[in-house]
Homo-oligomer: A and B are copies of this chain.
Amino acid sequence: MLNMKKNKLMQTSFDTGEISVPYYYGYDCLDSFVHLINGYDPDRLLLVIDRAVNDLNPNLIGSLSKIWPVSSVILQPDEKVKNIATLSKIAEDGIKAGISRKSIVIAIGGGVIGNIAGMVAGLLYRGISLIHFPTTLMSASDSVLSLKQAINSTKGKNHLGIFYTPKAICLDISFLQTLPKIQMRCGLCEIVKNCLAISPENISWFKDIANPNLNFSEQELIDLVSMAIEDKSKVTFDDPYERGRGIVLEYGHTVGHAIETLFTQENRDIKRFITHGEAIGLGMLYAAHISADLGYLSPEEVDMHYELLTAIGAQTLIDLDFNVLKSYINFDNKRGYLSFGKGQIAMVLLERLGKPLNTGQYPLRLVDIDYLVRANKKLSKLNESKSMVGV
């Protein structure tokens, strides 16, 4: 794990395939980042900023505007805005304002902001510079460690996207400490995923620092981030497009994305909000039960899923009408990796903790719908053996 010194800019990198993206991080280090951006000699910045981050840092846009011509877009970081209409508006307004091939798009926020800004940067003039400035644990430790940019279709998450490489990633740890708990928990769920599906050797350390109030020291935060960089690099190093081994990162995502889409649909009649991370947490529980049902994971390994999620205060029960859930799973964006018949779905499952079940070149397994029905019953609140933990 890396050691962080306050006020000093440190550097690691996110490596995948032939691509290496510098990852700069530090504490209270905005001045250093300004110096760094200056090195790229932009003619204009296009800032895509999370509304909450902008509210907490009302001088940010103004300070940058003193140095470069700045266009800024302030967005509610909601999956609902991650669509083609938002993409189109940002791009059109940017072109009108004078964005050129020498401009830099800077994504200041979490995964939603990074994804939209990544699409804008990747498509404008067939690709201009992109810098990620993650402000959530989720984006710092997961979503920026990817070349994948995407927007949602009306039928599901990330249906339209590209692979696009950022110029750099800049993380100021002090921003993470201003996060609402719900956002912090969201990121921790993906770190739980890494512990379960990639590096079970980290479970013991993670259990030591995990707490439902989500209080972490600066050093613990930087350790969490650097652990995530290491885990992600392990599986994407020789799979930059996440089409082979890297698909393990989708553990919990087949059902998780369906739950997330279901809870963020415009016309939903369910009023409760759920974060991406918690949805993936629930998705992992489905995947764990199915892995056990197929004779792979032991009851203790399934319990470890519950233990880690509960340790960070994430919810482990959800009441879902299976037919509704199924209709969303059918639009999962892993369609087409494996040929499957009616009533089957391709999922990332585990043979044991840290080892995905493989079919040919993919860490994917076809599952009959019956297994999902049984897992859905286990997650039901009516199942009194586990208690539901609220957000």
Contacts and interface: CB of A to CB of B under 8 A. Distances in A.
A390 interface: no
Contact of A160 (B101, B124, B148, B333): B124
A77 interface: no
Nearest to A87: B84
Nearest to A149: B126
Contact of A159 (B43, B125, B336, B337): B125
Interface stretch (A150-158, A168-176, A312-320): A150-158
A5 interface: no
Contacts of A154: 92
Nearest to A123: B160
Interface in A96-131: 96, 100-103, 122-128
Contacts of A91: 153, 159-160
A92 B336 contact: no
Contacts of A294: none
A103 B126 CA distance: 24
A95 interface: yes
A126 B126 CA distance: 15
Contacts of A241: 126
A75 to B, nearest CB: 18
How many copies of this chain does the complex contain?
A: 2
Question: Counting chain B CB atoms within 10 Å of each CB, which of A95, A103, A158 scores highest?
Answer: A95
Given A88-B84, A335-B100, A95 B159 contact: yes
Given A91-B159, A160-B91, A336 B103 contact: yes
A33 to B, nearest CB: 22
A163 interface: yes
A341 to B, nearest CB: 12
A380 B306 CA distance: 77
A161 B126 contact: yes
Closest 6 CB pairs of A and B: A101-B336, A100-B336, A100-B335, A102-B336, A126-B161, A123-B160
12 contacts: A43-B336, A43-B339, A84-B84, A91-B153, A91-B160, A95-B153, A95-B156, A95-B159, A95-B331, A101-B337, A126-B148, A127-B163
Given A101-B334, A102-B336, 11 more contacts: A43-B336, A84-B87, A84-B88, A91-B159, A91-B160, A92-B155, A101-B335, A102-B339, A123-B161, A125-B159, A126-B162
